[in-house]
Every structure is written in structure tokens, then in C-alpha cells.
Structure 1
Amino acid sequence: MSLATAIVERSKVSVPALAKPLGSIETFFRDLAPDWHSQWAWDHYESTILDLSSQFGLRRVCEIGGGRDPLFSTAQAARHGIDLIVNDIDAGELALTPAGLRTARFDIAGDLSEPDVTRGGYDLMVSRMVFEHVDDVERAWTNIHDLLAPGGVALAFFPTLWAPVFAINHILPEKLSRAIVHALYPARRDGGGDPKFPAFYDWCRGSRRQLGPMLNRAGFSDVHIQRFWGHGYFDRMPGLKQADHVFNALAAKTGWDFVTTYAYVVVRKDRV
């Protein structure tokens, strides 16, 4: 074997041993290429979390506000190699967590001295339709920074202002808002399968310009805001449904983040 051939053969062996660059959260979503419509966000929430887990090597997962309806069952978490802990502020909700899953009761925007708190103990923290119910979101993100391990990632999926449907929910008195939801969706009753909690919409926006400085103050420099438009609230209302779709499609095309309907806010803690 010639010297040149030996060098080539040696390089073939050594290259796979090199660590794959993790890249940024921004790069991750650029490669993922989400659709503009919020249906993509709902349909791909689980797969996005699994892709984040795989890409960044995240195994210890805390689901914020998981309560009665966690993302994964015990068997599913085991199949995906995830060590899942379900969090909720409400003991009653945690009591409904499916058997076999570990739970942790603490307020994500509260005092982190509770017994169930593990600072730096999570690789990935996720939440779905939770942050609109948190009345101090900046403190919640600061607490998440403390709870994440170095290099850890957090994803919050929530509705945003000022989409008209959520602006109305935000402005109306809670009793009236609750009555409207129960009239439109009779299966949603307090104590049922999908109770309605008061919504504050603190920092629930789809704008990087607005959210970026707050997330930087919380300790994050690697930040991505994935914006979505459109919703399904008018699906039973012909005419209005089509008009609303045209409006949201145009807003998405022009990047009008003032009227986003949902957002994924994704952050990663520095490794050092």
C-alpha cells in the first residue's frame, strides 16, 4: 500500500469518530421547514420534540402542565428513550396522570424551593397550551433557565395576541368567555376531559423583536420564535371560515406577526 493510499484509508476511519456539530435552534427549524398554518404546529408537536431530543441528545424531559394529559405514555416514553417527568401546579391534575409516569408538583413561575424541584436536572422542558395561563411568564422563563441542564432546550407552544379569536378571549370577562367555550364545545366542562383555565396571555406574542430581549434577560442567547397563523375555531361557520383563511394566509405571506395565532418559542441554555 502506498503512503497516499494509507492516508486516504486512515481518513475514512477517523471522520465518523468526529462529533457532529449540534448547530443552533434557528438552524434546526430552518432544516425542519414548518408550514405557516397552525395545523402544522398541532400535527407536528410530538415529532418536533422527538427530533429535538434526537438532534441535541436530550433525554431527561419535563412536561410542564402535563397533568391529566401528558404527551407520552410510560410505554411511549420508554420506546423513545425518554425519561419523562410530568409537572403540574395542581395536585388534582397530577392525580390524574396515567400510572407509571413520574410527577413533580411545582409552579413554573413560582418559588423553586419546593421539594419536587430539581435545578439543572432537565435536558428538555416542553409545554403545550400552558403559558397563556401563567401570570408571570418572564419569571417562568428565568426559572426554566435554572431548571435546565447546560445545553438544555425548552419549547413552549401557546396561542398569541393579537389574533382576533384570542384577543376576544383576553378582553371578555372570564365567566362570559367560559360560557362561550362551553356553548361551542359542550364536551369541555370543568372537571371533564379538557377544563378551561383563566388566560392572561402575558408575553404570549409571535414576535422575535418583542420576545427576544425578555428571553435574553432570562438567560437565553439561542432563541427561535416559530410563528403560525390560522386556526380551526371557524370550521363550523361557512363564509367566515374562508374569509379568515384568506386573512391569515395573507398575514403569513407578509410576515405580519402582530396577528399570529400560535407560536413555538424554543430556547437553548448555554453549555457553559
Structure 2
Amino acid sequence: MSLAPAAAPRASVNASSAADEQTGRSLARLFGEIRPDWHSAWAWDNYESTILTLARTYGLRSVCEIGGGRDPLFTAGQATERGIDLIVNDIDAGELALTPAGLKTARFDIAGDLSEPDVAPGGYDMMISRMVFEHIDGVEQAWRNVHALLAPGGVALAFFPTLWAPVFALNHVLPEKASRAIVHALFPARRDGGSDPKFPALYDWCRGNPRILTPMLNRAGFRDIHIQPFWGHGYFDRMPGLKQLDHGFNALAAKTGWSLVTTYAYVVVRKERG
């Protein structure tokens, strides 16, 4: 009986130490445990689970999806089931009007001056985006704004295509009209008015090389940074021969770590806890 009071504090200290160990884990260490595959198919298939792993590891709940618009990661019900308080952001009021019912929205330009009424500095535990940053004019300012909008200890993950993968380099140099026609030929569902319209791609700071991105992210205020590169894509899936040739090229690039021709990247950053 006399030992009972002493046991409870020791258990509490151990639980607290375990929580500190979990939240103090670096992003590089966490991704070392996740062990992503080299091919971009892994990035698409595991985008949601990666976000949930980050949220669980670092105790994140309030999540802002940048550019979520008409196609956010979760419905209101799914967000609730996963313990996520999701706020959908977009610069376009028309896109936000298409956001599924029941989700909160916030209209502001992530690369702007953050003067809009919907802006909440330090108000988000996590900020996520998929296929958005390649369309932003002023990505370095966007990352500064992400830093300002994150709460201490908050995490951001941006998933985007990278230069100079040949398929995206072509998209970058072609006139927008020609690029749009090619994408619509390969993916008819993406014609304007469909569920996934094509927006002009600028590729500002869209690279898969940590040596290029890290100094810029440091200037934005981040120190805990992880760049996860991927190779390969699905643009040639309906082109036998070319598909296999392209796969071989990307497999070799991944094996040698040739970051110049990555096709996609996860850029993950964490704000210092203060």
C-alpha cells in the first residue's frame, strides 16, 4: 500500500519523456523509419498516410490545406474520423465555392501579404498541399508565409512536380496552349470544366535537390527540413515501349541519386517550438 503513491509519479514522468521523445524526433529520422520507395507512385499512394503519420507523431490537429478548393484531401466526416480539424484554403472564391459541405474555408494568397481577413498567423498545426506550389508565383515568399502561419512545432508538407524531369521540362518550355492540349489528350477528364482542370505551371523553386532548396527554406525560418525526392510518373502508361524506356531511365536516376531529373518531391518542414 505504501508504494502506490510513488508508482504513479514515476509512470507519469515516463509517459512525459516518451511524448517528448516522440515530438522531438527530427523529420529526417521519421522519414528514415517510413522508408519511402523511389517511384512517385509511392508518393501518390501514401500522401494521406504520410500526413496522418506526421500528425500523430507531432500531435497536430488543426490542418490547413493550401489550394484545396474543390478537391480537399478529406471530407468533413473523414477529417473528423481521423482527428483532423481541416480548413480548406484557396485564392479563388470560385474554387472555395466547390469545397464539399461541412468543411471550414479560408480565402487568402499563400504568397501574398497575409492581410486578408481569413488569415490566422500562428493558427495552424499543419499546412499541406499537393500539386499547388508549381503554380505559385513567389514560392520563397510562400514559404515565409507558411512559417508565419504555423504554430510553434507545426509542420508543413508540399507535394509538387519538379524540374528538370523531361516530362515537366517540356511542360515548362512549351506555350501554355500547347501544354494544355497535350495534357488534355493524355487525360481527357482534365479538360476545362472537368473535375481536375489544368492551371499554368511556373515551377518556381520546384526542385528535388536538398542542396538547392535548403538555403531558401532556412531563409524562410526553418531548420528541421526533409526533402524526399521521387522519380518516375504515369504520363506514358498508355504508350508501350516508351513507358518501359522511361521507367528504366528513372530507375537508374533513382539508383544513382540524380536529383536533376526527379519528377516529384515532398518538401517537409517543421517550425521550431520556441
For the superposition of Structure 1 and Structure 2, which TM-score range results when normalised by the shorter chain? over 0.9
Aligned residue for 2:189, secondary structure, equals coil
Letter of the structure 1 residue corresponding to residue 260 of structure 2: F
1:141 aligned residue: 143
Query: Contact (CA 8 Å) 2:186, 2:235: kept in 1 or not?
Result: no
Which residue does the alignment assign to 2:270?
268
Q: Residues 143 and 17 of structure 1: is their aligned pair in 2 closer, same or farther, counting only changes over 3 Å?
A: closer
Q: Which residue of 2 aligns with 1:81?
A: 83
1:190 CA displacement = 1.4
Q: Which amino acid aligns with 2:47?
A: Y
Match status 1:68 vs 2:76: no
2:99 is matched with which residue?
97
Cα shift at 1:18 = 2.6
Per-residue deviation, 1:189:
1.5
Aligned to 1:232, the other structure's residue is in SS state coil
Deviation >3 Å, runs of 4+? 7-14
Contact 2:138–2:204 (8 Å) recurs in 1: yes
* Equivalent position to 1:246, from 245, 248, 272: 248
What's the secondary structure of 1:18's corresponding residue? Answer: helix
- Which of these residues, 51, 54, 58, is aligned with residue 60 of structure 2? 58
Q: Root-mean-square deviation (CA), in Å?
A: 1.9
* Secondary structure at the counterpart of residue 224 of structure 1: strand
Please name the residue that 2:111 is paired with: 109
TM-score by length of 1: 0.95
Counterpart code for 1:214: M
Structure 1 residue 179, shift from structure 2 partner? 1.0
- Residues 232 and 250 of structure 2 are in contact (CA less than 8 Å); yes or no, is this contact kept in structure 1? yes
- Equivalent residue, structure 2, for 1:18: 17
Instruction: Determine the structure 2 residue equivalent to 1:202.
Output: 204
Alpha-carbon separation, structure 2, partners of 1:265 and 1:13: 35
Which one-letter code corresponds to 1:33 in the other structure?
Answer: R
Report the number of matched residues.
270
Q: Which amino acid in structure 1 is aligned with residue 115 of structure 2? A: S
Determine the C-alpha separation between the residues in 2 that align with 1:223 and 1:19: 23
Paired amino acid for 1:18: S
Alpha-carbon distance in 2 for matches of 1:161, 1:13: 49
Instruction: Give the AA of the match of 1:126.
Output: I
Once residues 208 and 191 of structure 1 are traced to their aligned partners in structure 2, the CA distance between those partners, rounded to angstroms, is 37
- The amino acid that maps onto 1:234 is F
Range with greater deviation from structure 2 (44-53 or 19-28): 19-28
Distance 1:171 1:116, change over 3 A: same
What TM-score, normalized by structure 2, do the two folds share? 0.95
| 1:228 counterpart residue number | 230
1:119 pairs with 2:118: no
Q: CA deviation at 1:188?
A: 1.1
Q: Which runs of 5+ in 1 are unaligned?
A: none
Q: Within 5 Å, which residues of 2 pair with 1:41-52?
A: 41-52=43-54
